[in-house]
Structure formats: structure tokens, C-alpha cells
Chain A
Amino acid sequence: MKTYQKITIITLILIVALIIAINFGGIYKLKEYKVINVVPKYSLGMEFKGSRILNLEIDDTVNGNTVYDSQGNVVEQQNGIDYTAENGYNVIQNKVNPDDKLTDANYKLAKQILINRLNKLGAEQYIIRKDNSGNISVEIPENNSTSYILSYLSQTGKFEMVDKESSEVLMDNSDIQNATVVYASETTGTKVYMQIQFNKEGTKKLEEISKIYIATTETAEDGTTSETTKNVSMNFDGETYMSTYFGETMTNGVLNIPIGTASDSTKMQEYIEKANGLAIVLNTGIIPLVYNASSENVSKVITQDLLNIPMYVSIGILAVGFIYLIIKFKFRGLLSSILSAGFIAALLIVLKYTKVIITLEGMIGIIVSVIINYLFVYMLLSNVYKESIKKLLIKFTIPLIPIFAISVIFTFATALNLSSLGMVMFWGLSIMYIYNMIFTYPILNSMKKDKVERTDKKDAKK
């Protein structure tokens, strides 16, 4: 082996050793009088990080009783009268959730609405449970959007436009086609609205309402004028969000409900999230039952203890694989084993810097990448002296096309578990080519040249 070949191999091996050291040790810098590791930590999924559980229990509150006489008329209750069946009265408890609503169909509907909301609110991972009594629990990862998601999950989703004075319901959810978020630039900032598009019937109703609930100017006998307004209130889940009147007749069936005017990006984001949350709640429908919501934080499901066994098994299998390479290919096998360890380190560094969220499926992606890299290295070791690298690459890549397809499709999946797998595999396969072309192939190729030269010398001697 010539000196420059030795230098090349040693340099590449040292770089690989450095990659391994950076991944498992880190890069330390002095920052604010502290020595800290500047290599980012892994972004982990719910199972490794902790989660929050929203418990939704069917509200069994009874708001007094309604008494009916024998003719079925409501009786105004008075003190001193015993309202019992023996006395000819029918006493019905005013339950928040009447018995006839406590059906399996309603429990299932509530659960489905929650699933739809979770998907639309961007919950990356979730576990939902429903028991036979209709109680539901939802578990989502603990991150910046947890509180936001849970706050909109627990809302009933009831919208009403009512007469402000008489509380007469003028419009409700049945009139809504869909809700979206829109913005308008104004001199004071960007105004964020939740835009409700009403259906055909709702559009007609809105037109009528917008003709009635307006500001009117009245002139008194003495010539003075006064403005009176007839207002409507927008209620969400029974709470009045705003009261207003119409300045013009609404013929297009679109109602813009102002959420806020933002003068900076933080406020803008806040208003958009609020408008979006409300729109999602309206679009996913009314939860048919009233629930009492409570939440609890729980720590990670997968602890180090649980991970140890599969981790040691994987390391063991990998070690056996490396030993096989060493036995079969001797020194080249040893070098390839070191290089394969470098590949794992390089992949993990990339995953840290690209902030790919690693779930259990993501870990499967790492395993798949390691297996494929092993096969690639094995193929290089077996064939690098026989065939050109171009042919070897083509030969190895063609059967991998379906795996690339899986990685790309999974990357765009909405479920975090699958997207994690897709992203890890995508990086794994990409790095496999880049890494092996930079490190493994040049080392094996330089050894190949050396072997060819030795063979030539032998032939010449003969």
C-alpha cells in the first residue's frame, strides 16, 4: 500500500471517529461561563417525552326538577306541596344530559367529532379511549400546542345568533356551511376574522336578519334625532362572544366575525390560532353531550428500562453482523464495520440537526436504514473488485425504489408516527449513499488498487 493511500485511509477513519465522537460525546463550547454541548438533542415523540390526558366525563348534574300535572302541564312549584306521583304529579329531573341522549350512537358521535378535531387541530399523535358510559379520554403529546388543542377539544361547538333583548335564537349550527379564517389589512394593523359561510337556508335567514337588526335614526317632534340599534348576539357554547347590528343587507351568506386586530406577528399568530380553533370547532359539529373536562400530565410511557432490552438486542445483532464481516473480509471487514458505526453516528447527527421527531416508528426507520446500509457495505465488499461502482450503485438502488417511495409517502402522512418513519428512512437512505461514497468506497477502492498492483507485480515476476 502506497503512503498516500495509507494517509487517505487514516484520514478518513479519523474523520469517521470524529463523527462518532461528536454524536455520542458532543461538541462543547464555553457559553455564558458554562461549558455546554452545542449539538442539539433528539426531538422525541409522545412515548419518549410525556403527554397530557384530557378526561371528558359525562356531566350528570341535575338542575332541579320540572313538575307536570296529570294533564301534562308544567306546574309552578310552591312550598308546602308534595309533588309526588301519588298526588298526581309527574316529576322529571332536569338533567344536563337527559337520559334519552345517553345513547351509544351519541357516545360514538362525540368520539368521532373529537377525532376530527384532533386531526384538524394538527394533533401529531393521539390516543383516544371511550368507555361504555360515554366517558372519553384523549392523550396527546406535551408540546407548545397541547393547551391550544385541548382547549378546543373540550368545547361543545354550539353556535347561536340570538336577539340580544329577547334571546330568541335566530340562527344556529344547522345554518352553517363552513367556517374559515380571513384577514384584512387596515391602518391599525391586520384584522383577523372568522368567516362563516352559511348554507342556502342560512343565507336567506341572514339576509332577513340583516334587514331587521340595524341602526335606525328617529326624529323627535322637537327636531332632535336619536339613533337606536337592534342588536344580535353571537354565542359560542352559550357564552356571548359579541353583540352587534348590521350596517348593510347581507345577501352573500357570509358573516365575518372579528377576532382581533394585530399590530405584530405574535398577536397575529394568536388571533389566527383563535379564529382557526373556533372555525374547526364549528366545522366539526356539536358534541351531542355535555362533558366535564379535566386534564392530567403523565410522564413518558417508554422509559430507559423498557428501551434497554431492545437496544441491547439490536447492538448484539449488529455486533454479530460486524463479526461476520470481519471473519469473511478480514481487514476490509474490520474497516467496514468501523465505517458502518460511523454511518449510524452520521445519521443520528443529521436527525438531531434536522429536528426530525423520533417516535417508535422513527426508531424502526433507524433500524431499516442500518440494515440497508449493512447490505450496501456487504455488496461493496463482495463486488467492488469485480464491477464498477456505477453498476453496483444501479444494481443496489433499483430494488430500493419501493423503499424510497415508502419513505416519501410516509413523510407526508399527517400521523406523526408515520411521518417520523418516513423522514428517518429518507435521511437514512440519502445519507447511506453520500456517506458511503465519501468514506467506504474510497477506502475500499484504494485497497482494490493496492490489490491490483500486487497482482500485477506477481504476474510480472512470473
Chain B
Amino acid sequence: MLKNKKQGLINDDIVEDYKASPILKNKKIIVLIILIIAILIAGTIMIIVKGLNYDLMYSKNTKIQAYIKSDFEIKDIKKIVNETFIGKRSYIQNINIVENMLIITVEQASDDEINTLIQKINEKYNIELTNDDLVINKDTNINMIDIINQYIAPIVITIAIILAYLLIRFKKIGLFKILLYTIASVVLSQCLYISIIAISRIPVNFMTIPVALLIFIINIYILALIFERKLAGEKVKK
């Protein structure tokens, strides 16, 4: 033990951690496990009952493309859109290659609302925009599976390679333990993340997958650190 300590690979904290009581005897961990299970159950119920709260760009929407024929500020258009489509989510983009052209994305747009929008834009910019000047496209929600599909193969390969590495490096801890901890922690952390999104009604948008990847990377790093400590503990034990 001392030899290892002299080498600087193991410190007293590790030894104490290793000597600590089994997981289930630790009250804090029991509370944590109960909390995780509760979040998972609540998240599952929420997904079944209400589904996930998809952001406007990911859900069913109407895109209204308009050429304003005058200089405009996005914030002014936003104000008009908010006044027209009351209580509906909206998003405004200008078109890169055509000056004074914009796309208004709203949840739904009735004929009356579109007429009001035209009227308000005409009043604001003193132009004569008509219904015929608009291009209206109705988009359906994005199938998340289509987006996730692109990530599946690289992530499966990554997990397989990491798992192989962990199994070789930490075989002394026990192959089954390594396999179980790795798969369980990866699956559980992602399920927990989805559950929190579902419960808190955070919109599923372009940030959802990057954050999931961040959780995955941090999870793998922490797992590797824990296994290193456990391995050091095993050496101490011997």
C-alpha cells in the first residue's frame, strides 16, 4: 500500500473511500436512488401522457415567406407578429440572399390572421402587400428518430470500443461489474436527462442533442475516474 502511495498513484482519500461502507448502507445514496427512480417514473408518465414539448422549429408550423419591399427591423416585425398571432409561438428569420425578404414561422396561421398580418405590415411600412405576394408552407413536426439516426452508429461504435477498453483495463474489478456499471450509467443518465426535459417542459430544440452528448462525455469520464479509484482500491486491498 505504502509503495503505491509513494508512487503517488493512490492517496489516503482513495483508501478511505474504498473502506467506506457498502453503497446501500449509505443513506445519502439511498435517497439519491429513490430520487432518480421518482424522476424516471414521473418523466415516463409525462412522456406517455403529454409527450415532449417540441420547440416551434421542430414541431408542426406554418412558414410565411414575404417580400417587404422596404427596409425593416426584425424587432418591429416581431412586434406585429406577436400582436397578430396572440399567444402563439413565432420565429422570424430574414432570407440570406434576398434583401428585405423574411420568413415568419408560427404554430398555426388562419386566413384571418394572415390578412391581419398583411394589413399591419402595410400600415407600418406603407406598402401594398397582398395575399398573392406571400408564399405559405406548412411544415410538420420533425421526426426525432430521423435526427437521432445519424448519431446511433458512431455512438454504438464508441460505446463498444470504450467498453472493450474498460473491460481490459479494469478486469480486476470484475467484467460483469464493469459491463453493468458502464451500460447502466450511460442509459440511466440519458433517461434521466429525457425525464427532466419531459417534467420541466423544457422545449426539445437544437440544444437537446448537444447537451445529451455533453452528458454522455462527462458520464464516461467520471466512470473512468471511478474505475481508476476502484482499481487503486483493489490494489490496496491486495
The answer to whether A409 touches B154, judged by C-beta atoms less than 8 angstroms apart, is yes
Residues of chain A contacted by B135 (CB below 8 angstroms): 296
Q: Which residues in chain A, 206-243, are within 8 Å of chain B measured between CB atoms?
A: none
Q: A15 on the interface (CB 8 Å rule)?
A: no
CB nearest to B208 among chain A residues:
A360
**B154 CB to nearest chain A CB (Å):** 4
Candidates B94, B103, B151, B207; contact of A360 at CB < 8 Å: B207
List residues of chain A with CB within 8 A of the CB of B143. 129-130
Chain A contact-residue range equals: 35 or more
CA distance A328 to B157 in the complex (A): 41
Looking at the complex, which one of A302, A371, A383, A421 makes contact with B206 (CB distance below 8 Å)? Answer: A302
Interface contact B213-A421, CB-CB below 8 Å = yes
The answer to whether A399 touches B96 (Cβ under 8 A) is no
**1/0 contact string of A109-151 vs chain B (CB within 8 Å):** 0000001000000000001111110000100001000000000
Closest to B225 in A: A399
> Is A454 an interface position by the 8 A CB rule?
no
Within 8 A of A (CB), among B93-141: 93-98, 103, 135, 137-141
In the complex, whether B210 has a CB less than 8 A from a CB of chain A is yes
A301 at the interface (CB under 8 A from B): yes
Question: Which of A142, A368, A405 has a CB less than 8 Å from the CB of B96?
Answer: A142
Whether A418 and B151, one on each chain, are in contact in the complex, defined by CB atoms closer than 8 angstroms, is yes
Closest Cβ of chain B to A150, distance in Å, is 14
Which residues does chain A contribute within 8 Å of B225, judged by CB atoms?
399
Residues 183-238 of B at the A interface (beta carbon under 8 Å): 206-207, 209-211, 213-214, 217-218, 220-221, 223-225, 228
- The 8 A CB mask of B139-172 against A (1 = contact, 0 = none) is 1111100110111011001100110011000000
* Residue contact A129 to B157, C-beta cutoff 8 Å: no
Q: Is A163 an interface residue (CB 8 A)?
A: no
B93 touches A406 (CB 8 A): no
The answer to whether A55 touches B137, judged by C-beta atoms less than 8 angstroms apart, is: yes
Residues of A within 8 A of B139 (CB): 129, 131, 137
Q: Is the CB of A360 within 8 A of B206?
A: yes
Query: Contact: B150 with A363, CB < 8 Å?
Result: no
Taking the complex as formed, is B65 at the interface, i.e. its CB lies under 8 A from any CB of chain A? yes
Contact yes or no, B217 A406, CB < 8 A: yes
List residues of chain A with CB within 8 A of the CB of B57.
301
A47: which B residues are within 8 A, CB to CB?
Answer: 206
Q: How far, in whole Å, are A425 and B143 apart by their CA atoms in the complex?
A: 29
CA separation between A223 and B57, bound complex, in Å?
Answer: 77
B37 at the A interface (CB under 8 A): no
Residues A131-181 near B (CB distance < 8 A): 131-132, 137, 142
Q: Is B41 engaged at the interface, CB distance under 8 Å to the other chain?
A: no
Query: Do the beta carbons of A406 and B214 come within 8 Å of each other?
Result: no
Which A residue's beta carbon lies closest to that of B229? A399
A361 and B228 alpha carbons, distance in the complex (Å): 28
Q: How far is the CA of A391 from the CA of B5 in the complex (A)?
A: 12
Is the CB of B9 closer than 8 A to any CB of chain A?
Answer: yes
- Cβ of B8 within 8 Å of any chain A Cβ, yes or no, is yes
B7 within 8 A of A: yes
Task: From the candidates B140, B141, B209, B228, name the one contacting A398 in the complex (CB within 8 A).
Answer: B228
A-chain residues with CB within 8 Å of residue B207 when the two chains form the complex: 310, 360
- With both chains docked as a complex, state the minimum distance between the C-beta of B162 and any C-beta of chain A, in angstroms: 5
Contact status of A417 and B150, CB under 8 A, knowing A296-B65, A391-B7: yes
The residue that B94 contacts in the complex, of A299, A364, A391, A415, with Cβ under 8 A, is: A299
Contact A406–B95 (Cβ < 8 Å):
no
Given the complex of chains A and B, what is the CA–CA distance between A413 and B143 in angstroms?
21
Residue in chain A with minimal CB distance to B65: A296
Q: Which residue of B lies closest to A371 (CB)?
A: B218
In the assembled complex, the Cα of A142 lies from the Cα of B96 at a distance in Å of: 10
- Inter-chain contact B162/A399, CB cutoff 8 Å: no
Q: Is A386 an interface residue (CB 8 A)?
A: yes
Contact B98 A409 (CB under 8 A): no
9 nearest A-B pairs in the assembled complex, by CB-CB distance: A131-B140, A415-B150, A399-B224, A413-B154, A387-B8, A360-B210, A50-B96, A402-B162, A299-B93
Chain A residues within 8 Å of B, Cβ to Cβ:
47, 50, 55, 115, 127-132, 137, 142, 296-302, 310, 360-361, 363-364, 367-368, 371-372, 383, 386-388, 391-392, 395, 398-403, 405-406, 409-410, 413-415, 417-418, 421, 425
Name 8 extra pairs, CB < 8 A, besides A299-B94, A360-B206, A418-B151: A129-B143, A296-B95, A298-B93, A361-B213, A368-B217, A403-B220, A413-B154, A417-B151
